[in-house]
């Protein structure tokens, strides 16, 4: 594997670069394998990504006939399709997983967005997906809603890898991190063995915060365009405190001595929405140790071409807190914005899921004629 590119340079600094996309075309053509050879060490998916892949390709048509041959519901047909893609992508990433001793090389699949406010339903579906896919380098995505937090704790205590998604606020990030720590503790207390293969990331969304804050501030305001990065840097400061084992104290330290992994922050929603900003802004400014950045294809290409690889997290936390305080002083409630973004994010994924099922039903109807 070449070390002379920005993906592998980021990994040397401590940040894993994941791809925020999946499709059967990408798997069949070898495109994903080539990206892994360049240093990509993970894949994330969601209903919107699958909707795009299915709607824009005829690749799935033949398989869809097999998936639906027993009269299965549209929901079941989609799950069969998604499970196959996730399983195949996991196999492509398996060398990265093995090379990282189970600390990288993951592929994420989301529970139904309809379960975002149903803890028991989330636990049941996550367990079923985990068992069905049957790959150690899969992560089950669980929304960071209040109802999602006990589900995260339970799933981690089961030894199931979890990607906590749709995190916008510092409080929600802290809750997700504590749910992970408590889940690992429960796993240990139950005598299930070493927790070193249990992995989790906390997906903290970035660009949507800027869009919402700038709408209130005004695009020309001196504070505009910086809230998303500042909010993420504050979350990184929380991560360093919660998982700090250098001082030999804190909730995580006893677990770390058993080989437990930290729950890494993952920067999501990292494509730039404002054309005035550099296209690698949410990569360059959030580069730092023990983190992940998941990028859509265009942003990944931009990173490879002209990204800046240097630690921009450790030295910027104090300034980030000051920036968020200045935003509050300007009359913008970040708590209100992040609450609204969570609700909108859940709705957007649910709407994409419903749209996906509708398009799938239409496609199945045409194929049956």
Enumerate the active-site residues.
Answer: 141
Label residue 148 exposed, middle or buried (CB < 10 Å: 0-12, 13-18, 19+): buried
Report the alpha-carbon distance of residue 217 to residue 233 in Å, rounded.
20
Q: What angle, 0 to 180 degrees and rounded to 10, lies between the N-to-C axes of helices 74-99 and 119-133?
A: 60
What tokens were used for 189? 């207390």
What tokens were used for 1? 């594997």
* Residue 39: closest CA among 292, 356, 352: 292
* Residue 91: closest CA among 60, 262, 83: 83
CA 109 to chain CA centroid, nearest Å: 9
- For residue 43, give the H/E element and its range: strand 42-43
Residue 105, sorted as left (phi over 0), alpha (psi -120 to 50) or beta, turns out to be: left
**What is the end-to-end Cα distance of the chain in Å, rounded?**
48
* Residue 293: closest CA among 58, 33, 22, 17: 17
Handedness of CA 197, 108, 236, 143 (dihedral sign): negative
């Amino acid at each position: 594997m070449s070390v002379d590119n920005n993906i592998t340079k980021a990994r040397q600094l401590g940040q894993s670069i994941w791809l925020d996309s999946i499709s059967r075309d990408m798997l069949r053509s070898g495109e994903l394998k080539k990206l892994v050879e360049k240093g990509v060490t993970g894949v994330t998916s969601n209903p919107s990504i699958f909707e795009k892949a299915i709607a824009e390709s005829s690749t799935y048509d033949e398989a869809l006939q097999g998936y639906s041959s027993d009269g299965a519901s549209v929901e079941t047909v989609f799950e069969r399709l998604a499970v196959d893609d996730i399983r195949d992508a996991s196999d492509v990433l398996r060398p990265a997983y093995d090379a990282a001793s189970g600390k990288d090389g993951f592929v994420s699949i989301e529970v139904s967005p309809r379960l975002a406010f149903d803890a028991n339903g989330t636990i049941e579906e996550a367990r079923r997906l985990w068992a069905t896919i049957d790959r150690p380098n899969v992560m089950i995505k669980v929304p960071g809603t209040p109802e999602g937090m006990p589900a995260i704790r339970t799933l981690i205590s089961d030894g199931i890898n979890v990607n906590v998604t749709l995190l916008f606020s510092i409080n929600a990030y802290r809750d997700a991190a504590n749910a992970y720590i408590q889940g690992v503790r429960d796993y240990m207390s139950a005598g299930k063995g070493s927790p070193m293969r249990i992995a989790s990331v906390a997906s903290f969304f970035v660009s949507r915060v800027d869009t919402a804050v700038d709408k209130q501030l005004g695009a020309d305001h001196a504070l505009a365009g910086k809230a998303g990065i500042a909010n993420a840097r504050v979350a990184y400061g929380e991560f360093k405190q919660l998982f700090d084992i250098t001082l030999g104290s804190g909730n995580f330290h006893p677990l770390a001595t058993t080989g437990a992994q930290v729950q890494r922050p993952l920067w999501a929603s990292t494509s730039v929405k404002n054309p005035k900003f550099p296209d690698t802004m949410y990569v360059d400014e959030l580069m730092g140790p023990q983190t992940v950045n998941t990028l859509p294809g265009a942003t990944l290409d931009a990173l490879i071409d002209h990204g800046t690889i240097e630690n921009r997290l450790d030295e910027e936390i104090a300034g980030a807190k000051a920036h968020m305080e200045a935003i509050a002083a300007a009359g913008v409630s970040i708590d209100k914005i992040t609450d609204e973004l969570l609700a909108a994010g859940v709705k957007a994924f649910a709407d994409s899921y419903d749209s996906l099922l509708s398009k799938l039903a239409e496609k199945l109807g045409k194929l049956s004629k």
